[in-house]
Amino acid sequence: MAAIDTPRITYGAVTFAGRITATLVSFAGIIVSWNDARITRNALSGLSDRELDDIGLVRGDIDLIAANQGPL
């Protein structure tokens, strides 16, 4: 008679490797968000006051826009 040995798989259990992976993914997301904000801030800072006015912004809105909070 043959016996098949299968590993026990517990779904939903958080393993050490899973926590490390989640931490790395979270860290990568933070870096991507920071870089997107930096690029947005640099692009908007390069516009003249007239160009900012054309799109409905003032220079003081740049940091809010870069932080994805929008103008007040």
Give how far the C-alpha of residue 35 lies from the chain's centroid of Cα atoms, to the nearest Å: 9
Q: Per the domain annotation, does 58 fall within a domain?
A: yes
Q: Is the pTM of this model over 0.95?
A: no
Give residue 30's pLDDT. Answer: 93
Q: Per the domain annotation, does 49 fall within a domain?
A: yes
> DSSP state, 1?
-
Tell me the pLDDT tens digit for each residue of 5-56: 667 666 666 788 889 999 999 999 999 999 999 999 999 999 999 999 999 9
Contact 40/65 with Cβ under 8 angstroms?
Answer: yes
Q: Per the domain annotation, does 21 fall within a domain?
A: no
- Structurally, the chain folds into a number of domains equal to 1
Q: Which domain holds residue 56?
A: 41-72
Q: Per the domain annotation, does 64 fall within a domain?
A: yes
Q: Per the domain annotation, does 3 fall within a domain?
A: no
Give residue 27's pLDDT. Answer: 95
- Which H or E run contains 13? none
Nearest partner of 36 among 60, 15, 65, judged by Cα: 65
- Please identify which residue in the block is written with the tokens 């947005």: 40
